[in-house]
Structure formats: structure tokens, C-alpha cells
Amino acid sequence: MGDLEQKKANNKQLAVRLLIVAVAGLAFGFALAPLYNILCEAIGLNGKADITATAAASNTVIDQSRKVTVLFTGETMPGLDWGFSANEPNVEVYPGEIKLTSYKAINRGKQAVVGSAVPSISPEVASLYFKKIECFCFNQQTLQPGEIKDMPIRFFVSPDLPKDIKTVTLSYSFYKVDNKPK
Amino acid sequence: MSTNTATHHDDHGHPTGIMRWVASTNHKDIGTLYLWFSFFMFLFAGALALGIRAELFQPGLQFLEPENFNRLTTLHGLIMIFGAIMPAFVGFANWMIPLMIGASDLAFPRLNNMSFWLMIPAALLLMTSIFVPGGAIAGGWTMYPPLSVQNPSMSVDMSILALHILGVSSIVGSINIITTILNMRAPGMTMMKMPLFVWTWLITAFLLIASMPVLAGALTMLLTDRHFGTSFFDAAGGGDPVLWQHVFWFFGHPEVYIMILPAFGLISTIIPTFARKPLFGYASMVYATAAIALLSFVVWAHHMFTTGMPVAGQLFFMYSTMLISIPTGVKVFNWVATMWRGSMTFETPMLFSIAVVFLFTIGGFSGLVCAILPVDIQVQDTYYVVAHFHYVLFSGAAMSIMGAVYYWLPKWTGFMYDETLGKWHFWVTTIAFNVTFFPMHFTGLAGMPRRVPDYALQFAEFNMISSFGAFALGISQLLFLYIVVKCIKGGTKADAKPWDGAEGLEWTVPSPAPFHTFEVPPTVK
């Protein structure tokens, strides 16, 4: 029966098309990972912008009309037996002014350990305007047992920072490198 | 092949005994399998919930280690969603869609068999994961990293594999259903003449095809993060745990509508029957369903208001979420307008449907409350959210399934169910449900966090009430089982059309529906 054959062919054709939609859905699911990172950096979502990018020291005019408080916090993630804290918990800067401050890390363990710090900025929008010229987070850090290390960060807050933001928090999470759970 | 001789097919041999079910390609048999499977999983996941409520009966830790409590909440959620509610709707789709559109079976009967039998290993993986070293998956049904990446237990991998299998089953099933609906309708059955249940399933199937693969992608990334050294969600390696939440909820919010749109279809079928009036605003129902489905893809981040996102993003997701209440409101209005001045009678299916309209609307309103950004920041992860989603999922999805079971039991079994017992089941279920979940609005607003086995003393009374309600709710479902079994065994013979107000092709075939129906397509005027 040609009619029935025709119907079966139609069904098969539709099913294949729907399968293509499903496969496209799968591809889209994976594509969301890079898309998300691009989006985060573009609009400062999750305070992720410029995580490791080195900003060039700019010759922008220093905006002396207002001051911004920058709070520094830090924590270590499970598996990393380090003490880690900011030497200056808060710093006041003029937008555009280049400032140097530092964190202190102590390896409390009995082995040399490599750690990596991941910064996060809050409020998230501020991440677009917080520029790091020099930062220990650009490289992995190795600490010998018992070693105490001062780790500098040189930064400035762009004068374009929206006027309603008066406090910016920079938070570092220190992870042990190669500490992936199996 | 299969034309003219419809009678001949009734006698030709098909396998009997267990092979009838294992090798079945018959949409009615597979529908029955799906429905029994989902009912068993419903009881199993319900029993897990009773473990939760037993622990929460009093403050302090009585029965469960906190880890075990977390395992119960996680498995309860996963199994209710993927094992009970979704398969139950697929069971209805199998049984009723061919009967409603005048097709002899689904488009791909063998794939249909595969879709069902894939569910069994998936369910076994989820259920046996309780016994592996390290215990069952415990980080919540949403499986947020870093917990789901750090938990070394094999059960997490078993759950990921189970969800992969269920995803394949759902996608194959959806392709089957869409092909059946688009290509196999009886002559004269135009799209805008299809029963609303068929319409809602068509749209649900598209949602499944679009969203399940995204979950599969996310689960695969989770698996490679766990075992193959990638860092999609691991901040130490440059990933971001919040990415999981975005991808998961991009699947998760359409999933919410996958679990409610077929329920809308069911009660849009039942209410006109017992109001003895055609459905008010049929076309607007179709468009509202499509609108809800489209909107479901642009609201996902309302699950993540507290994860930190730009205010513009929060506002977008707040407004898009609120927008969904418009098509949903259209539906509620249409159901009420269908009942308005109808010659209503209150058989069990109608009682369930009216309760669904009433209680689902409460869940809808609490959803609207949660959508308000500043309020959500307060109620996020509290029992208010638990109350909200049980009002939409239990009294929306599960109770519409119960009502629809009563509605079509005469068609399936050839016998009328026991109306008195059915009404008992309805009233006990409805009252116990509200006793269980209504107080959670109060405890949630007062700040009781979800997924915690202990709570502050001030919540003791409400929790005790909730636990009493939960046990009544659980036990009353055994009555449901008894009523269904009793109806299968016998009773008053059912006519081809036992409900005098019922419309639709399924009532033109005898009760019980013969093994093969519509071998010759009927003509719809």
C-alpha cells in the first residue's frame, strides 16, 4: 500500500527533524559554558570581569572629588592549610589613584604547597571598573612549610565607577592546585 | 496491511503473560505500564517524604542523621519528578492521545516500548544508590556544585547516569508523541479541533525536546568535572559553580511546565464533562499554553536571585516571571467560566479538578510572591518555597493525575470505580494535603530554612501539624491503590460513555477499550 508507505516515510522524516532539534539542544547546553564566560566578562556578571587580566597603568586624571573605600577579604578553601588575610582590611582611594597593598599568607602544613587565588568583586558591576596592575592572583603561589609571604596587589579604581558605589569589596579565595577530588 | 478487518485483530495472537508486557508495542499496554510504574514510584518517593516528616515531627534529631535527611530530600525530589509525575503523564499520553485523535497507535510503537523499558534501569539506579558506600546523593535534587562535584560517593554518578537514561527516554517518547499528533490524526481532526489534552502534550513534548538535552549537557559537564579533570564548575580551575545553576535552571524551568501543562490538559477535559458545557475559550487555552511554554525559557534566573546578578538582570527575570501569570490567569478564568452556569455534578474526577483549580491557584499566587525580587531574597530556601512548589506540583500535577485516573478508569477497565470510596479518597487527600503544606507558608515566612533536619523551637507546633497531615496524606494513597485494584477486578459494568457530558473520540469505542482501536480511522465532522 503506497499510502501507508508514504505515511511511514513522513513519520520518519519528522522524527529525524525532531532528533536534530534535540541534538541542537545538547550542543546549546555545552555552548552555554563559553557563552556564560563571555557574558560574565562583558557585563561583569558575578564579579568575574578581568579576573586575571593585567591592566595597564593609566594616565587618567585622578578624581579628587570623591573617595572610594576598598575592602579586602580573603579565605582559603578546604584542602589548603594556609593562613591568608589582608594586611590592610580597608583602603580609601581616589578614583584613578594607583595604590599598593598586600595580603599575607602562611603555610601551616608540613609540605610545600601550590595555591591559586581566584578574585571576586562585589558589587558585581564594580568589577568592570576595578583594575589590577599587579596581583599575586596572576600567578600560582608556592609556599614552603612554615613560610610566610607578603603578596602585593597594585590597583586603581577607574574614575568611570558609577557615583552611587562608595564601597568595593575584593575577595580572594585561595585554592590548592591539583586538589581535584577524584 | 492493517485496514478493513478490525475484528480479526482482536483474536490474532499476541504474547501473553510477562512477555505481553516486556515485548509490548501496544500503546494501551505501554500506557498501563507507565501508569503502574509511576504509581509505584509515587508511593516509594512518598515513603521517603514520610521519613522527612517523621524527623521534622519534633525539633532536634530523632530518627535520622543529617546526611540521611539530606539523602531523603534529594531522592524524594528526584524520584517524584522523574519517576512519578513525568511517567504518569506519559502514561496518559500513551493511553489517550491515539484514542483522542483517532489513531491506531503511536507513530513508532517499538521506540515506545524502548522509552518505557529505559525507565526501569534508571529507577533501579536511583533506588539502589541508597545502598552504595557513601550513601545516596545528598546535595538536593538540583545537584548544585560544589557539593555534587566534591561528594565522592558513587551514588552521584549513578544518579547522573539515571538522569541521562531518563532524558533519552523522554526525548524518544516526545519525538514519538509529536509525530503521532502531527501526522496521524483522523481525517477531519484539524489542529484546532484536537482535545486540549492533546494540545498541551504537543507543547510539552516540544519543551522536553528543547530542554532535556540541555540537562544532558550539564550532567555530562558535571561528570567530567568529577572524573576527567575538567573545571566547568570548579572555581579552583577557573570554572564557576553558578554556571551550573544557569544551565540547570535553563532546563529546570521548562521542566516545571512539563509537569503542569499536561495537568492543565487533563482538567480542561474533565471540567467540561461534568459542567456539561463545552470548554470556555478553547482557542485562548491553546494560545495560553503556547505562551506559557515560550515564556518558560526566559525566566530561569528567578531561581537564582540571591546568587548575585546585575539589578537589570534581576528586574528582567522578575518581570518575565510575573508575565507568566497572565496566560495562566487566562486558563484559570476559562475553567471557572466553563463551570459558570453549567449543570455541574460532583463525581470524583470533577471534585479533583475543582480542587486543582482552587489549590493550583494558591500555588500560583505564592509563586507570584516569590517572583517579587525583595521578597524572594527573604523567602529563598525557606519552607515558603516548599509550600509553593507542593501547591503547584502536588495539588496541581499529582491531584489532576488522580482525577484523570478516576475519569478514564471506566474506559480502561470496563468497570465503574467505587464512587463512595473515590470521594473518601478525594476528601482525605485534599484535607491532608492542606494540613501538611499550608502551615509551611507560615513557617517559611517566619524564616524556617528548607533541607535542614532540625529547626528552632518556635516552629514546633506547625511542624507537628504538617507531619500529622503528611502521614494522613501518605496512608490515604493506599486507599487509592485499593480503589484502582477493586475497579480492575470488577464492579458495575461501564458503558462506552459512562459520563453523559463527555465529548471525544475515546468514548466512541467500547469499555474496556479493545486491544486495537481505530484500525480504520474515524471521520471527524
**Which CATH number do you get for residue A127?**
2.60.370.10
Residues in chain B: 525
Residues in a beta bridge with A99: A155
In a domain, A126, yes or no: yes
Q: Which domain holds residue A143?
A: 44-178
- The complex's ipTM works out to 0.85
CA B331, B333, B338, B339 dihedral sign is positive
- Catalytic residue IDs of B: 76, 105, 141, 169-170, 253, 255, 257, 268, 302-303, 328, 331, 450
Task: Report helix, strand or coil for B187.
Answer: coil
Residue with cell 531574597: B377
pLDDT of B4: 43
Between CA B107 and CA B118 the distance in angstroms is 18
Question: Do B78 and B475 touch, CB atoms closer than 8 A?
Answer: no
Chain A contact present for B179, CB below 8 A: yes
Nearest CA in chain A to B154: A182
- DSSP assignments along B92-143, one per residue: HHHHHHHHHHT-SS-S-HHHHHHHHHHHHHHHHHHHHGGGSTT-S--STTTT
In a domain, A100, yes or no: yes
Q: Tally the domains of chain A.
A: 1
Nearest CA in chain A to B177: A15
Chain B contact present for A28, CB below 8 A: yes
Q: What percent of chain A has pLDDT over 90?
A: 26
Contacts of B88 (CB under 8 A, 6+ apart): B34, B35, B38, B39, B42, B401
Task: Report CA B239 to chain centroid distance, whole Å.
Answer: 33
**Region class of B186: left (phi > 0), else alpha (psi between -120 and 50), else beta:** beta
Contacts of B110 (CB under 8 A, 6+ apart): B25
In B414-459, alpha helices (H) = 419-445
**Region class of A70: left (phi > 0), else alpha (psi between -120 and 50), else beta:** beta
In a domain, A131, yes or no: yes
Cell triple for B199: 494540545
Contacts of B456 (CB under 8 A, 6+ apart): B59, B448
Between CA B105 and CA B107 the distance in angstroms is 6
Closest residue by Cα to residue A7 from B430, B376, B179, B373? B179
Cell triple for B224: 567530567
Q: Taking CB atoms and an 8 Å limit, are B240 and A11 in contact across chains?
A: no
Q: Taking CB atoms and an 8 Å limit, are A33 and B211 in contact across chains?
A: no
In a domain, A58, yes or no: yes
Residue B97 burial by CB count (10 A; 0-12/13-18/19+): exposed, middle or buried? buried
Between CA B110 and CA B515 the distance in angstroms is 16
Q: pTM of the prediction?
A: 0.89
Between CA B46 and CA B55 the distance in angstroms is 14
Between CA A37 and CA A32 the distance in angstroms is 9
Chain B residues touching A30 at Cβ < 8 A: 217, 220-221
Phi, psi of A151, deg, nearest 5: -120, 115
Identity at A42, one-letter amino acid code: A
Cell triple for A60: 587618567
The shortest C-alpha distance from B149 to chain A (Å) reads 8
Residue B452 burial by CB count (10 A; 0-12/13-18/19+): exposed, middle or buried? middle
Q: For residue B266, what is the DSSP state?
A: H
Strands across the sheet with A148-157, in order? A82-86, A99-107, A148-157, A130-135
Between CA B171 and CA B251 the distance in angstroms is 13
Task: Report helix, strand or coil for B183.
Answer: helix
Q: Taking CB atoms and an 8 Å limit, are A33 and B178 in contact across chains?
A: no
C-alpha separations of B521 from A13, B186, B188, B284 in Å: 22, 5, 10, 28
Pairing of strands A99-107, A82-86: antiparallel
Please compute Rg for chain B using Cα positions.
23
Burial letters for A134-172: b for 16+ Cβ neighbours within 10 Å, e otherwise?
ebbbeeebebeeeeebebebbbbbbbebeeeeeebbbbb
In a domain, A97, yes or no: yes
In a domain, A169, yes or no: yes
Closest residue by Cα to residue B480 from B404, B414, B412? B404
Cell triple for B302: 528567578
In a domain, A37, yes or no: no
Chain B contact present for A77, CB below 8 A: yes
Which candidate in A1, A32, A38 is best for mutational testing of the B interface (most B CBs within 10 A)?
A: A32
Report B:298-317 residues touching A (Cβ under 8 A).
307-310, 313
Residue with cell 531523603: B72
The half-sphere exposure of B26 on its side-chain side, counting CA atoms within 13 A, is 21
In a domain, A23, yes or no: no
The shortest C-alpha distance from B251 to chain A (Å) reads 9
pLDDT of B404: 98
**Region class of B322: left (phi > 0), else alpha (psi between -120 and 50), else beta:** alpha
Q: Taking CB atoms and an 8 Å limit, are A18 and B108 in contact across chains?
A: no
Of A25, A124, A182, the CB nearest to B213: A25
The shortest C-alpha distance from A140 to chain B (Å) reads 11
The shortest C-alpha distance from A78 to chain B (Å) reads 11
Closest residue by Cα to residue A132 from A162, A88, A168? A168
Question: Do A57 and A77 touch, CB atoms closer than 8 A?
Answer: no
Which candidate in B169, B179, B304, B307 is best for mutational testing of the A interface (most A CBs within 10 A)?
A: B179
**pLDDT tens series, chain B, 525 aa:** 344 444 444 455 677 888 889 989 999 999 999 999 999 999 999 999 999 999 999 999 999 999 999 999 999 999 999 999 999 999 999 999 999 999 999 999 999 999 999 999 999 999 999 999 989 999 999 999 989 998 889 999 999 999 999 999 999 999 999 999 999 999 999 999 999 999 999 999 999 999 999 999 999 999 999 999 888 998 777 788 899 999 999 999 999 999 999 999 999 999 999 999 999 999 999 999 999 999 999 999 999 999 878 888 899 999 999 999 999 999 999 999 999 999 999 999 999 999 999 999 999 999 999 999 999 999 999 999 999 999 999 999 999 999 999 999 999 999 999 999 999 999 999 999 999 999 999 999 999 999 999 999 999 999 999 999 999 999 999 999 999 999 999 989 999 999 999 999 999 999 999 999 999 999 887
